[in-house]
Each structure stands twice: as C-alpha cells, then as structure tokens.
C-alpha cells in the first residue's frame, strides 16, 4: 500500500502520483481534488477526506472507496469497476455509466443515475442507502438503481420527477411510494419476488459493506419502476416536405 | 385515410422509346418509386415516394430517366409559399414535429459569396505554387504565452498537445448510425492518406476503425454513446459536443429502428432502443462546469490529447467563445447555422442560430481584444463549400475548417435531404446492408482524397495570388478581404472594408 498525502496537491499532481503508484494507494487529507482515478482500470484507491467532483470519471475497472462524503459527478461515464462511498454524494452521480457499481451509504443529490445505460454483459448498478434528490434516473436507458431509504424512513425516499424520460433499466425504491409522483411514461408497481431476486446480490453486498441486516433491508416494501417504451420519441416526428 | 392533400413534388419523366425495361431503376430505388407491370409491359412510377436523389437517373443504362419538378402548383402567394402550405397539411394529418435533413435550404445570405479575395499586382510579386514552396500545414492547439528557458538557457520546447494537419480542413462529426459503415471507412481512410483528421461524431468508434486513431477525433456528447477509456485513448483529439449548427439548443435522437447490429455495438446500447442525446450535458451549467469536463478528459488521457469544444453559432457566440477559451479547451469548433444534419426539427434548422461568417469574425476579434486568442485554435464549419470558402475563413481568423456536406457530396450524396428516412440510395445515410454496400470505400476514399487535393491546390493558388506562402501568414489577414453589397454594419462585424475602399 502506497500512502499519498494529498494536502497541498492539486488534481493534476495527485493523479500523477496515483498513476505512478505501483500498487494500491491510500490517499490521506483529500480535500476537493477532482478527477481522482479518472479513466484508470487497475487501481485500488482508498480515500480519506473529501474527493472533489468527477471522482472516478470514465472509470474502467479500478476500485475506489471513500471514507467520507463525495461531491458531484461521481463515476461520470463509468465503464467498469466500483466506487464505494461511506458518506453521501452530490449531484449527477453515475451520469451515463455503462458498467460497474456505485454503493453509497448516505444520500445522493439531484439527478443520480442520469442517462445510465446497459449493454450486453455490462449492467451498471447504483445502490443508495439513504434518500435520492429530484430527477433520479432521468433519461435512464439501462441498469439498476436502488434507493433504500435506511437512514430516515419516515421521509420521502426520492425528490420530484423521478424517472423522467426513462426508456430502459429499472429503479427500485424501498418504499410503497404513495407520496411519490411518477411521470406518465413509466410504470410503478410493488416489486415481485422475481424483481427482488434481481437486486438481491447487490443489496447483500451493500449490507455487508455498510453493516446492515440483509433480511431486514430486503423486507421492503419495494416499489419497482420500469419504462413503458424503449422508443419514447417514436410518435413525435413527421417528415418535413 | 382521407384525401392526401400533398401533390408529389417531382415527376418521373421516362422516355418510353429509350426504356428497355431492364428494371435497374426498380432495383435501385429504396423508396419504391419504380415498378414493372407485366400485363402492360411497361415501367410504372409512384411519384409520391420520389425524393429526387437521382440514383435511378445516374444508373439508367439508356438515359431514359429524368426527375423533374412537378409543374402542378398552388395558386401563387408570396406570403404562403408552397412548402409552408404542405407543412401545414402534413402536420394536420399527423400531429408530428417536422423533421428535416441536411443544411437549411432557405435563402439566407451566404456571406462567403459577398466577400472577395485580394491579389498582388505590380507592387508585390505573386507566388507560383507549382514552382515555389508553399506551406499548407497547420497545427491546432494552445500556443504558449511566452518563450521560456530552462536554467541553462535552453529553450523549453514542450508544447501543449497539438494536432498536425497537412491542410487546414478536417472532416466534421458524423456519427456511425447517422451515416453508414462504408461512409465512415471512406472518411477514415481518406483522412489517413491526406494527413488530416475525421471525426467519429457521437456514435462511438467502430472496432475496425481504431487503427485510424492518429487521424481520428473522438467525440463526447451528452449521451456519451460508446465513450469509454479505450475510445478516449484511441483518437488524436477529443471533442466535446455542446451544440450543432443545424440544431442549436437541442439534442439528438437516433431512432431505435436504426440501432441495429454494429451500430448498437459501437454505441454500446441494446438494439432497438432509442439513442437519446439530451439537449444539455447534465453536468454542465456554466463555464466552470465545462472546465470540469475538459479536465476530466485530460486527466483520463494523461494530458496527451487536445480537447475541442464544439458549439453552435448563436447570438452571443463571442462571449461564449471567450468563456470556452478560458475553460482549458485547446480548440474551439464553431458550427454555423447553415451546417448539415442527419435529422433536425425543421423549424429549428431553418430559424435558429447565426451564419458562421459573422460568428467567426466576432469570435476572432473578441478573443484578440481580450488577449486570449492564443489560448485556443478556432475551427469553423457549417457550411464550407469550396476552397475559396476555406481561404476566406482563414483570412477572417479561423485556424482550420470542418467540412461534412462537401465530403458527403464527394461520396455521391445528391442532397435530396431525406437522410432521416434511413433509405439513402447512395449508401451513405442508411444502415440497410443492401444499400450500404453500394458505397465502395475504396472509391469513396479516393474521391475524398481527390477533392481535398484539388482544394489544397486551389488554396495554394489563391494564396500565391496574394503573395502569401503559408496558411499562418493568411490567418486573420482581413486586409486580404473586401465585401460586396454588404451594409456598413455587416462590414463592421466582419471587420473588412468594402470593395473599392
């Protein structure tokens, strides 16, 4: 394990040290440096402190864990690997992610999982232990998002306009969602045992990471949201003359 | 179905004396205009389907075919032009948003055609490019602010990453999906042979084309299709697409019907799913946010590749470009509103944005005034149609030009403007295997190489006539330009004098 003291380093210097490190790295005193681990495929990085925006952007197989909160755009366009955050994360987490996993113990800001996609064996997963802000899963085209609402179950698990423009993938909300308004083009229903089977391995992993009881968490209730069409714009256009 | 209010725009004029009923026209027309009647022993035509792409005309072995404008017209009305009337009919019957392809056909001013180029007479000699050396090579990227030396006094020659082009023209972004595999193959091969770059567009990079990486610009748009580490590493430069001249302010949408086979694999999304590129990047609301995306790409590629930010030419383009020049981007690409598209809402294409000539002139001036012109190179497109447009663009301040429609014309496009139908009879804007194979990449790339070589020579001749022997000396040299028939305001924005002054 290589220790990197991030105090006083800018993002370029810090990432250079990470790239040069021959083995796993532990970053101490992280304070807002952006793009940590961007585009890497073979690193294991533990971060103490608060990484800046775009943590693990274009991540391609590395494993990042943050003992603290993370900021905006965690895992932007991520292709593979994992990002585990022991605190909360900011806005637009997992933007356009195509593969890998993001596990967050706390809450997520606005637009979590926006335009998340899936392809063949690539199926991105995002599990949020707390609550998610507005526009969760906006334009979602694939993959799984689960919001468990474990920290303050009495509060609404998700903000306004979840799943707007969704045309693929699934969203699981650990709530009966009587207080959530969904847009017209998606269907929300109580999760079936088959649905739950789909998220079970990820919930189990989440519970092991953050010390929750798997059985209790899976008790739910869970609502599952799926899009009605993978071609939402099909009827919109007519040929010009 | 009620009455179809729209009279066909074209007529198929078949010379029965020449027609030998070989049915080539029938085989060639994906729109199914032509058919053969066994009973009558004649070829029939369904003009309602004709888009005037001229495929049948070109391939008819006896030259028996002409596609002509249908003289049947509405009663003349200067306000209600025929297209407007037909569009109302079309929307009244479908309720749909009108969709069009390629650049706007509306008669907006083309400033290139109102700008004239200077030449030497008597007082300074012109240069003959056939006999004398002439440099058309250009470098795109940031220029160092000052010369710096190491402690021993040696020049520090490490520059920010640059693109090298043999001539100041590149093939602009067209995605795999909007155009065919063979069209991309033609562009990639031609760019490699010419020592210039082509651009993947936002549909990812087909695995077969990674070998053309040194001549490839890989694009990152809001949908992030096919974007992954290997893709970013593959290109010579990375372009962030913020906007497109033909459709400023809106995103893109490749219908699920076109997401098949390799297109699905290259975009890395399932077959049949709509590929939606939302209008904004969800993480960009400011220049600071743009800077974040620029630097995330630089970090992911170890600062080895220049980052291009492409924007549409819109009203405040000078201020926008000033922001981009401070965002860490190496190159700004500006796309004028006459630029092409594989599909855009008609009303947007025909009404939103500004001409590239005015955008270029005001951006170049603004960046100079602010002392940040060297922060970035400027690339302009939409629409650059010929070598003299290139020369005028450089003299107005561009470092290089993007061309796309001209490149498609070289591949056989006849500008029928129905790319969105997916039935391109020339094998360009289609994914139908039987149509794609009509475009032979060997011939296609050769035609592109021919076109660019011809332009390069014309550029040298135009420069030589001015007594200028390098693109660098022509850049921003507005004294070489004069306007004709332009207002004082237009001349002021273009920063040029009127002819005769």
Q: What angle do CA B437, B412, B166 make, to 5 degrees?
A: 105
Q: Report if residue A236 sits inside a domain.
A: no
Minimum CA–CA partner of B92 in chain A: A238
Please give the pLDDT value at position B72.
Answer: 92
Q: Is B303 on the interface with A (CB under 8 A)?
A: yes
**Which residues on B lie below 8 Å from A138 (Cβ)?**
282
**In angstroms, what CA-CA distances link B279 with B222, B243, B244, B252, B400?**
7, 8, 10, 7, 27
Q: Is B206 on the interface with A (CB under 8 A)?
A: no
CB distance B325 to B351 below 8 Å: no
Q: Report if residue A115 sits inside a domain.
A: yes
Among A12, A167, A235, select the one facing B273 at the smallest CB separation: A167
Residues in chain A: 241
> What's the whole-number average pLDDT of chain A?
94
CB distance B422 to B434 below 8 Å: no
Closest CA to B331 of B355, B308, B360: B308
CB distance B277 to B225 below 8 Å: yes
Domain count, chain A: 2
Could you say which DSSP state residue B209 is in?
Answer: G
Among B83, B223, B268, select the one facing A241 at the smallest CB separation: B83
Residues A135 and A208 in one domain: yes
Minimum CA–CA partner of B271 in chain A: A119
A39–B232 C-beta distance less than 8 A? yes
**In angstroms, what CA-CA distances link A76 with A55, A56, A72, B178, B401?**
8, 7, 9, 25, 31
Measured between CA atoms, how close is A94 to chain B, in angstroms? 11
Q: Report if residue A234 sits inside a domain.
A: no
Cβ neighbours of residue A149 closer than 8 Å, sequence gap 6 or more: A130, A131, A155, A157, A173, A174, A175
How many CA atoms, within 13 angstroms, populate the side-chain half-sphere of residue B25? 30
Q: Report the sign of the C-alpha dihedral through residues A186, A187, A191, A194, in that order.
A: negative
Q: Which of A:27-56 have CB within 8 Å of B?
A: 34-35, 38-39, 41, 53-54
Residues A174 and A110 in one domain: yes
Minimum CA–CA partner of B302 in chain A: A16
Please give the pLDDT value at position B2.
Answer: 73
Q: Which residue has the tokens 């549409």?
A: B312
Q: Report if residue A3 sits inside a domain.
A: yes
Q: Report if residue A235 sits inside a domain.
A: no
B87–A39 C-beta distance less than 8 A? no
Residues A58 and A117 in one domain: no
Please give the pLDDT value at position A23.
Answer: 84
pLDDT-derived band at A199, boundaries 50, 70, 90: very high
CB distance A126 to A146 below 8 Å: yes
Residues A65 and A172 in one domain: no
Last residue of a domain, one of A87, A117, A136: A87
Could you say which DSSP state residue B372 is in?
Answer: -
Q: Is A152 on the interface with B (CB under 8 A)?
A: no
Minimum CA–CA partner of A230 in chain B: B273
Q: Is B236 in a helix, a strand, or coil?
A: coil
Residues A128 and A96 in one domain: yes
| CATH number of A181's domain | 2.160.20.60
**Which residues on B lie below 8 Å from A237 (Cβ)?**
96-99, 345, 420
B292–A237 C-beta distance less than 8 A? no
CB distance B172 to B381 below 8 Å: yes
**SS3 readout for B466-486:** HCCCEHHHHCCCHHHEEECCC
Last residue of a domain, one of A39, A72, A87: A87
Q: Is B253 on the interface with A (CB under 8 A)?
A: yes
Please give the pLDDT value at position B3.
Answer: 83
Q: Which two tokens stand for residue B71?
A: 């003289």
B295–A11 C-beta distance less than 8 A? yes
Residues A146 and A117 in one domain: yes
Q: Helices B387-395 and B356-369 meet at what angle, rounded to 10?
A: 30
Which strand ranges, in their side-by-side order, compose the sheet holding B331-335?
A: B169-171, B400-403, B377-381, B331-335, B307-312, B237-241, B216-220, B198-199
B303–A12 C-beta distance less than 8 A? yes
Measured between CA atoms, how close is A148 to chain B, in angstroms? 24
Q: Report if residue A29 sits inside a domain.
A: yes
Measured between CA atoms, how close is A201 to chain B, in angstroms? 23
CA distance B477 to A194: 69
Q: Helices B287-300 and B317-325 meet at what angle, rounded to 10?
A: 40
Q: Is A112 on the interface with B (CB under 8 A)?
A: no
B295–A35 C-beta distance less than 8 A? yes
CA distance B437 to B433: 6
CB distance B235 to B308 below 8 Å: no
Q: Which domain holds residue A174?
A: 90-229
Q: Report if residue A241 sits inside a domain.
A: no
CA distance B402 to B201: 13
Beta bridge partners of B171: B403
CA distance A159 to A144: 18
What is the pLDDT tens value at each position of chain B, 501 positions in all? 578 888 899 999 999 999 999 999 999 999 999 999 999 999 999 999 999 999 999 999 999 999 999 999 899 999 999 999 999 999 999 999 999 999 999 999 999 999 999 999 998 889 999 899 999 999 999 998 888 999 999 998 888 999 999 999 999 999 999 999 999 999 999 999 999 999 999 999 999 999 999 999 999 999 999 999 999 999 999 999 999 999 999 988 788 888 888 999 999 988 888 888 888 888 888 999 999 999 999 999 999 999 999 999 999 999 999 999 999 999 999 999 999 999 999 999 999 999 999 999 999 999 999 999 999 999 999 999 999 999 999 999 999 999 999 999 999 999 999 999 999 999 999 999 999 999 999 999 999 999 999 999 999 999 999 999 999 999 999 999 999 999 999 999 999 999 999
Measured between CA atoms, how close is B151 to chain A, in angstroms? 23
Last residue of a domain, one of A72, A87, A102: A87
CA-based radius of gyration for chain B: 24
Residues A127 and A150 in one domain: yes
Please give the pLDDT value at position A223.
Answer: 96
Tell me the per-residue pLDDT of A30-53, one tens digit each, with 9 for 90 and over: 999 999 999 999 999 999 999 999
Among B94, B268, B283, select the one facing A95 at the smallest CB separation: B283
Count of CB contacts below 8 A, A vs B? 153
Q: Going from the N-terminus, what domains does chain B have, and what CATH number goes with each?
A: 10-96 (3.30.70.20), 166-498 (3.20.20.70)
Q: Which two tokens stand for residue A76?
A: 């932007």
CB distance A103 to A82 below 8 Å: yes
Q: Is B286 on the interface with A (CB under 8 A)?
A: no
Q: Report if residue A132 sits inside a domain.
A: yes
Residues A49 and A136 in one domain: no
Residues A2 and A105 in one domain: no
B228–A79 C-beta distance less than 8 A? yes
B421–A60 C-beta distance less than 8 A? no
Across A174-193, average pLDDT: 93
Residues A99 and A79 in one domain: no
Could you say which DSSP state residue A92 is in?
Answer: S
Residues A155 and A76 in one domain: no
Residues A124 and A40 in one domain: no
Closest CA to B341 of B278, B411, B417: B417
Cβ neighbours of residue A121 closer than 8 Å, sequence gap 6 or more: none
Tell me the per-residue pLDDT of A66-100, one tens digit each, with 9 for 90 and over: 999 999 999 999 999 999 999 999 999 999 999 99
């Amino acid at each position: 394990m290589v220790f990197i003291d991030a105090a006083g380093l800018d993002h370029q210097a810090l990432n250079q040290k990470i790239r040069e490190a021959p083995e796993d790295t532990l970053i101490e005193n992280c304070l807002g440096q952006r793009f940590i681990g961007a585009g890497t495929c073979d690193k294991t990085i533990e971060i103490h402190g608060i990484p800046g925006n775009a943590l693990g952007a274009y991540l391609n197989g590395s494993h990042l864990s943050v003992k603290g909160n993370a900021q905006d755009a965690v895992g932007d366009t991520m292709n593979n690997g994992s990002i585990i955050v022991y605190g909360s994360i900011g806005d637009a987490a997992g933007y356009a992610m195509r593969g890998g996993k993001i596990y967050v113990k706390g809450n997520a800001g606005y637009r979590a999982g926006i335009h998340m996609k899936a392809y063949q064996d690539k199926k991105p997963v995002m599990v949020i232990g707390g609550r998610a802000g507005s526009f969760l899963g906006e334009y979602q085209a694939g993959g799984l998002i689960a919001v468990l609402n474990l920290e303050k179950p009495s509060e609404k698990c998700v903000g306004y306009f979840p799943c707007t423009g969704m045309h693929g993938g699934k969203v699981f909300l650990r709530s009966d969602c009587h207080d959530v308004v969904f847009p017209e083009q998606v269907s929300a229903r109580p999760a079936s045992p088959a649905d739950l089977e789909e998220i079970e391995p990820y919930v189990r992993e989440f519970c092991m990471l953050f010390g929750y009881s798997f059985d209790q968490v899976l008790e739910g209730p869970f609502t599952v949201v799926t899009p009605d069409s993978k071609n939402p714009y099909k009827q919109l256009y007519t040929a010009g003359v | 179905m009620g009455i179809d209010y729209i009279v066909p725009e074209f007529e198929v004029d078949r010379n029965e004396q020449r027609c030998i009923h070989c049915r080539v026209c029938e085989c060639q027309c994906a729109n199914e205009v032509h058919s053969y009647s066994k009973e009558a022993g004649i070829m029939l035509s369904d003009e309602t389907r004709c888009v005037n792409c001229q495929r049948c005309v070109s391939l008819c072995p006896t030259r028996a075919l002409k596609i002509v404008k249908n003289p049947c017209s509405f009663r003349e009305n200067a306000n209600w032009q025929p297209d407007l009337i037909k569009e109302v009919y079309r929307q009244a019957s479908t309720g749909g948003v009108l969709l069009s392809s390629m650049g706007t056909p509306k008669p907006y001013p083309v400033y290139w055609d109102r700008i004239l180029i200077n030449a030497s007479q008597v007082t300074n000699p012109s240069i003959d490019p056939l006999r004398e050396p002439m440099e058309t090579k250009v470098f795109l990227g940031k220029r160092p602010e000052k010369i710096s030396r190491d402690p021993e006094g040696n020049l520090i020659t490490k520059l920010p990453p640059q693109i090298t082009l043999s001539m100041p023209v590149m093939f602009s972004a067209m995605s795999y999906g909007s155009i065919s595999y063979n069209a991309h193959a033609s562009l990639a091969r031609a760019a490699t042979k010419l020592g210039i770059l082509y651009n993947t567009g936002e549909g990812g990079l087909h695995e077969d084309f990674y070998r053309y990486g040194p001549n490839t610009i890989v694009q990152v748009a809001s949908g992030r299709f096919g974007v992954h580490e290997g893709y970013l590493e593959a290109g010579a430069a990375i372009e962030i697409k913020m906007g497109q001249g033909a459709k400023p302010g809106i995103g893109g949408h490749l219908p699920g019907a076109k997401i098949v086979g390799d297109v699905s694999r290259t975009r890395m999304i399932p077959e049949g799913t709509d590929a939606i590129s939302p209008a904004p990047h969800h993480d960009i609301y400011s220049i600071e946010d743009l800077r974040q995306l620029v630097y995330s790409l630089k970090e992911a590629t170890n600062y080895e590749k220049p980052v291009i930010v492409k924007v549409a030419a819109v009203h405040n383009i000078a201020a926008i470009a000033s922001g981009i020049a401070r965002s860490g981007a190496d190159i700004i690409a500006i796309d004028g509103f006459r630029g092409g598209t594989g599909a855009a809402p008609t009303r947007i294409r025909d009404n939103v944005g500004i001409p590239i000539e005015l955008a270029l002139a005001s951006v170049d001036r603004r960046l100079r005034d602010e002392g940040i012109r060297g922060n970035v190179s400027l690339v302009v497109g939409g629409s650059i149609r010929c070598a003299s447009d290139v020369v005028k663009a450089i003299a107005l301040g561009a470092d290089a030009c993007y061309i796309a429609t001209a490149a498609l014309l070289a591949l056989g496009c006849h500008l029928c403007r129905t790319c969105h139908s997916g039935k391109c009879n020339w094998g360009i804007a289609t994914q139908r295997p039987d149509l794609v194979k009509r475009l032979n990449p060997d011939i296609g790339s050769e035609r592109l190489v021919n076109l660019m070589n011809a332009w390069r020579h014309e550029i040298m001749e135009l420069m030589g006539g001015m007594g200028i022997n390098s693109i660098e000396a022509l850049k921003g040299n507005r004294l070489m330009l004069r306007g004709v028939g332009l207002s004082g305001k237009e001349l002021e924005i273009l920063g040029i004098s009127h002819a005769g002054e």
